[in-house]
Amino acid sequence: EFQAYSFIPEIGTDVLGTEVLATQQGYVWLVLPGGDGLLVLDTKGTLLDTSDDEYKVLVNEEGKGGLPVEWINCIEEDLDGEIWVGTLQGPAIFYSPEAIFNSDEFDAQQILIEQDGNIQVLLETENITCIEIDGANRKWIGTQHSGAFLMSDDGVEQIQHFTADNSPLLSNNILDI
């Protein structure tokens, strides 16, 4: 049975999300179109009764989602229940998504890595187009210009980097994994 939601004033009544994710915690995550961030909905297990629902719109402000940018391409839940968000400026992670409705300040984090002796944000200059999680909780991250990356379960270690030059990929613009 389908349920329409028109009670969310921040996003209007005619907005369709570009991607929807139902998580282990029972929350529904919706990528808002046009760079408007994310919407997280808690139906309290009563999908057809909207009177008890809670929602939050997550944006790139500290204390209101802390996303690196509001333009989101994809979302995925890993095996630990963490939410991985693909943005125009690399991935961002909500490590404790169950706290989203229990705290006024709940922000995504970006992974810091060491490269050539410098500390930097993981793939911060990459437009992340897709993220998939495999059975070992590793992250497969597709990008718009740099091919695909296979990362360790915590995202800190790069296991493989696939490009059109070193693999059977036809292009470095990865649309889906």
pLDDT, tens digit, 9 for 90 and up, residues 50-106? 788 888 999 999 989 999 999 999 999 999 999 999 999 999 999 999 888 887 778
Is there a contact between 129 and 143 (Cβ–Cβ < 8 Å)?
yes
- Distance (Å, whole) CA 43 – CA 28: 8
Residue 122: burial class (beta carbons within 10 Å; 0-12, 13-18, 19+):
buried
- Distance (Å, whole) CA 42 – CA 25: 9
Q: Which residues contact 68 (CB under 8 A, 6 or more apart)?
A: 60, 87, 88, 89, 90, 92, 108, 110, 121, 124
Would you give the DSSP letter of residue 109? B
Is there a contact between 16 and 70 (Cβ–Cβ < 8 Å)?
no
Would you give the DSSP letter of residue 70? S
Q: How far is CA 143 from the centre of its chain?
A: 14
Residue 18: pLDDT band by 50, 70, 90 thresholds?
confident
- Distance (Å, whole) CA 154 – CA 68: 19
Q: Which residues contact 115 (CB under 8 A, 6 or more apart)?
A: none
pLDDT at residue number 38: 93
The torsion angles phi and psi of 120, rounded to 5 degrees, stand at: -145, 170
Question: What's the mean pLDDT in 131-153?
Answer: 97
Residue 5: pLDDT band by 50, 70, 90 thresholds?
low
- Distance (Å, whole) CA 37 – CA 58: 6
